[in-house]
Structure 1
């Protein structure tokens, strides 16, 4: 929507009489930078707004006066012969609408001005003049629509004369289109100022002349915009009405304003300009900058600062043009005038003389040109063309042959980036810091935001130690970097490497330093191999067939699983794996024993002599697990007489310490199969200081059951037990052997297995011995061992 303001015209012509008085002025100012100009209206109480777009008409009559109402024929009245001046104020119509650029559009409507009595013939013998005045900044335009005056040579009789400031008077008479006289024709008369005078003269009639039949004139007048700047540009005359803009003049409807060339500042008078170049700012991506008045000599005493500021990531290039002249001295560099150039605060140089500087790449988006001059000189100054381009970063270069730049570009600009990585088996290093990835970004100053890294070969570090085993280097010894290879092995014959999926121990033990920097096996990945204890493989297996009672001493290594316990007395047990002891529950919880008096549990391994085995040191027990079927309070039942001792630490296996295997075949419990029982128990009615063993056959259950009945015993002999020995052989285990195992060799698998645990009997060497049947408890044993990890 436009907001328009229409200046309507008054419906009457105001007449004011002022005897021989001069009009007073009213000053007006238009536009933000409009220059104050204007004349004063004589009407009392008139305001600046009253004079806007208002043609002012005054008519001076000798014998008559004319009253002109808009839209009506003027009425002429006879007045006394004394001189009067009449001012007639007439509103034209000015429609002022802001348009794009805030321009004012003047559209004044024409008004009529006629001779007295028009269109009737005018009366002879009169003379009057009419002054038409437009608002300041406007001119008066007048054109005759009808013209009929008596013609005469040089219009000496009747005439209309038009005068205005800056114009020669024009006198007219005759009729339009007639060759007689000097009619105005269709010419439009435009004042050079804001006023115009029309003088009408009708000579007196004489008796010898015919009556007047000429009707006079009809003229149209209106206010039109006055182009003050055109007067300044086209006229060399010194006219007070002309604008005196020192540099640039700008016309607008109703006025004008002045401005200055770049580097100058408009002064308070609104016309003059003074050099001011201390804060010139240029933000376009390219342009021209020059000293004041270039290529004319620059003014004296300048302190100019031309600042160029463009977006981040752009660099400014400067190219000086010819001519280049700054006052200089042959012996002293730039003592008078100088041009200093700074880029982001960095001084690029100081220039003067007649040799223009070479093109300058500032590598900056902020440049300041400081130009200082003294009070004299006539050098022509300088001019430069500045351009911009996006800043570029140097081409990235690797520091070694193992660094790879992904998707390398031929050129990198501001905000571009590159990604660096390493060849397989190498890792990024920034100083001493290991990087998982690397990205560098081109900055707005043409540098990369971080330096190029190096690639270092992956180092897997020294291979981990293998418990109960070791490793050998397949490749160069001591080199643990990418693609180095090692072979783990176990300390045989006491340990064997755990293999699965049909792999061999050599495949399972082979590890390579991988590209990830860790030792890897093709089958198991990073998982270390395991050296499992070898069970049932004594290095010096027993061959004699002697009883413990009266039996022979065991040789070292014959029963390497044998444990010597001291809990509530001497007892025995057997090593399972490298941290478990299999024993009888009653050695931990004896029958009919006060449970509140818990004894310490001491376990010894690794020798066949009590004195020597105790010297080797006790193996601390972390915990013991008794089978839930065992009942300490039931003196007649040894059901569930089995227990496990978990050692605090794994034991190191060797020829004197080796575990026994668990059974997996029930056929070994058949009658007649022979087994061995070893222990540090009673022999010949005294405790043995040496490990002894006996060779015993497995007896029939019926025979053992019958023998118990003959002894009138009600002891429980369940299916979780078996018996061995013979009443006629006088061979048996005895006190101090409890918890030891009944061992048998599995010829098929070439290993020794724990078939039973010495549990109970009647006397020593007087009949059968009764043993816990281990096969029935294998699942429980494995479950408890697996639970512990």
Structure 2
């Protein structure tokens, strides 16, 4: 909102089930994780084989395969020996050859995510003389990937007949394997007994910005440099937001509330992400499930922006990739030190040749955090000129430069002020309000996200 006066810890646990028989899985209930190997692995596989495995995980999940080893006789089109992956009789991949070989079709060792909760694997070999056959076959892990994770209580409530199982701690394709050791304690391959927390990969874009420019009259943000950026359209206006989870977007409350009434009931709220180009992005809105405005946000007269924060729950989980990725939440007790540089981004107004105009591209700027006393003084001085201005509270902070010219503006509200520390970007602030845009001696005001960590986590867990 711009005022114008022109006048985890989440434990992600998965059952580890070893499937060493080369037949259809004998379980009637779907498993979450397992291993499949070719006959006689790691010895050379025999000729004249035709083996099939039918994999199934719970509804709502997808199956991810990770090939720890694949050495199958190479041939054009994998005609002789092959491992074929099918979904409902449709061939998704046919593999043979060796890693880094020019022959065959090797899947590599990176995780591959397949559609649906079912897969069929078929291993077929020809009748080559076994004395000449030295290829050792394959070993592949499969894992359920989805938005519902087993909790520790799920393990504690397993049938008593299961005395000791293994599991994998996983998030975003990072694997840590654990076994139940002889001393009855969970242990990893380094004999470490403590189970670590599951930390999501956040705030790490695949492409980094080489320099920082101005939003007002600035340059376009390159693709995949700010993958948490969200654009909102509501009641004919435009705002910003940021992805903080596969179901969650964080934004400013004033984007969603007008005189105490949430925009959800006033008009259709449209959420867009995954591109820096407005025209491309607006072809694929993301469905909204529910809105969660901070209960203490009470801004009936546009003069009280305290607690200007809200969460949007999405109807369906988004798939994280190079163009959509969550930003990290700040650590508890995060300190907003004067001079700390923040990255502000948005699809709001830009300045060109002295005129302001709407932008069709994501813009960005780097601005320092301003000392609270300096910002409060600036606002109090402005109040001597303008009678109706909001007040600065401890739930807000300011960013900008005294000479002006660099700022967020209309249409940027709800977007992120991100601070990079420890190699990751953290959501330190939410674009909230200010006195015009980029004026000398004036600063942008941002919601202090660190003050709301408890509310954010509780809201997400409760919904």
Per the normalisation by structure 1, the TM-score is 0.35
Give per-residue Cα distances to partners, 1:542-575, cap 9 Å, x unaligned: 2322221122110001100000110131111000
Shift of 1:759: 0.5
Partner of 1:462: 55
**CA 1:540–1:626 in 2, change beyond 3 Å: closer, same or farther?**
same
Q: Distance in 2 between matches of 1:468 and 1:722?
A: 44
Cα offset, 1:652, TM superposition:
1.0
User: Residue 278 of structure 1 aligns with which residue?
Assistant: none
Map of 1:505 onto structure 2: 175
Separation in 2, partners of 1:763, 1:710: 14
1:571 paired to 2:239: yes
Alignment partner, residue 629 of structure 1: 296
Aligned partner (choices 388, 404, 408) of residue 733 of structure 1 = 408
Matching residue within 548, 557, 576 for 2:224: 557
Q: Give the greater-gyration-radius structure (CA).
A: 1
Q: 1:626 to 1:682 in 2, by over 3 A?
A: same
Call closer, same or farther: CA 1:663–1:522 in 2, change over 3 Å.
closer
State the number of aligned residues.
304
Q: Is residue 168–residue 177 contact of structure 2 (8 Å, CA) maintained in 1?
A: no
Question: Is 1:601 equivalent to 2:276 in the alignment?
Answer: no
Name the CA distance, whole Å, in 2 between partners of 1:596 and 1:460: 47
Aligned-pair distance for 1:666? 4.2
Separation (CA, whole Å) in 2 of partners of 1:669 and 1:489: 41
Q: Displacement, 1:469?
A: 3.5
User: Residue 533 of structure 1: CA displacement?
Assistant: 5.2
Partner in structure 1 of residue 378 of structure 2: 707
How far residue 531 of structure 1 moved from its aligned partner, in angstroms, is: 9.9
Deviation at 1:597, TM superposition (A): 6.3
Hey, what's the Cα distance between the residues in 2 that align with 1:785 and 1:754?
16
CA deviations 1:462-495 (Å, max 9, x no partner) are 2538648334476996479xxx97424699xxxx
Alignment of 1:150-161 (within 5 A): none
Counterpart in 2 of 1:698? Answer: 369
- The equivalent residue for 1:688 is 359
Quick check: 2:169–2:176 contact (8 Å CA) kept in 1? no
CA contact (8 A) 1:592 1:632 kept: yes
SS at match of 2:258: coil
| CA shift digits 1:97-137 (9 cap, x unpaired) | xxxxxxxxxxxxxxxxxxxxxxxxxxxxxxxxxxxxxxxxx
Q: Relative contact order (alpha carbons < 8 A, sep ≥ 6): 1 or 2 greater?
A: 2
DSSP 3-state at the match of 2:55: coil
SS in 1 for 2:318: coil
Kept in 1: contact 2:203–2:327 (CA 8 A): yes
Structure 1 residue 695: deviation in Å?
0.7
Distance 1:780 1:463, change over 3 A: same
Q: In 1, Cα distance between the equivalents of 2:365 and 2:282?
A: 23
Matched with 1:352 is none
How far 1:605 moved relative to its partner?
0.7
Q: Shift of residue 779 of structure 1?
A: 1.2
Shift of 1:534: 2.0
Is the 1:498–1:531 Cα contact (8 Å) retained in structure 2? no
Residues 683-736 of structure 1, C-alpha deviation per residue, up to 9 Å, x if partnerless? Answer: 121111110001100001111111111111552211111011023132110010
- Following superposition of structure 1 onto structure 2, how do residues 158-169 of structure 1 map, counting pairs within 5 Å? none
Measured after TM superposition, the shift of residue 499 of structure 1 is 2.3
Q: CA RMSD in A?
A: 3.6
In structure 2, C-alpha distance between the alignment counterparts of 1:505 and 1:595, rounded to whole Å: 42
Determine if contact 1:470/1:490 at 8 Å carries over to the other structure: no
1:646 paired to 2:313: yes
Q: 1:546 aligns with which of 210, 213, 219?
A: 213
- The corresponding residue for 2:133 is none
Structure-to-structure mapping, 1:236-251, within 5 angstroms: none
Contact 1:557-1:656 within 8 A present in 2 as well = yes
Distance 1:596 1:537 in 2: 32
Unmatched runs of 5 consecutive residues or more in structure 1: 1-424, 427-433, 435-458, 492-496, 511-520, 524-529
2:266 is equivalent to residue 612 of structure 1: no
SS at match of 2:331: coil
Q: How does 1:197-208 map to 2 (within 5 A)?
A: none
Residues 521-541 of structure 1, C-alpha deviation per residue, up to 9 Å, x if partnerless? 999xxxxxx998521010112
1:487 equivalent in structure 2 = 141
Tell me the CA shift for residue 640 of structure 1: 1.1
Q: Is the 8 A contact 1:536 1:751 kept in 2?
A: yes
Report which stretch shifted further, 649-658 or 466-475.
466-475
Deviations 1:267-322 (A, max 9, x none): xxxxxxxxxxxxxxxxxxxxxxxxxxxxxxxxxxxxxxxxxxxxxxxxxxxxxxxx
Query: Aligned pair in 2 of structure 1 residues 752, 485: CA closer, same or farther (>3 Å)?
Result: same
Deviation by residue 1:137-170 (Cα, 9 ceiling, x = unmatched)? xxxxxxxxxxxxxxxxxxxxxxxxxxxxxxxxxx
What is the rounded CA distance, in whole Å, between the counterparts of 1:728 and 1:584 in structure 2? 27
CA contact (8 A) 1:533 1:578 kept: no
Task: Please name the residue that 1:760 is paired with.
Answer: 433
Write the distance in 1 (CA, Å) between the matches of 2:225 and 2:219. Answer: 12
C-alpha contact (below 8 Å) 2:419/2:428 kept by paired residues: yes
3-state DSSP of counterpart to 1:499 = strand
Distance 1:612 1:498 in 2: 39
**With structure 2 as the length reference, what TM-score do the two structures score?**
0.59
C-alpha distance in structure 2 between counterparts of 1:731 and 1:603, whole Å = 27
Structure 2 distance, partners of 1:671, 1:638, is 22
In 1, the alpha carbon distance for the partners of 2:433 and 2:222 equals 26
- Alignment of 1:590 onto 2:258: yes
Alignment partner of 2:457: what SS?
helix
- Map of 1:674 onto structure 2: 341
SS in 2 for 1:659: coil
Q: 1:594 to 1:663 in 2, by over 3 A?
A: closer
Aligned pair partner of 1:663 in 330, 337, 351: 330
| Aligned counterparts of 1:542 and 1:490: Cα–Cα separation in 2 | 34
Structure 1 residues 111-510: aligned runs within 5 Å: 461-464=54-57, 467=62, 469-472=64-67, 478=121, 486-488=140-142, 499=169, 505-507=175-177
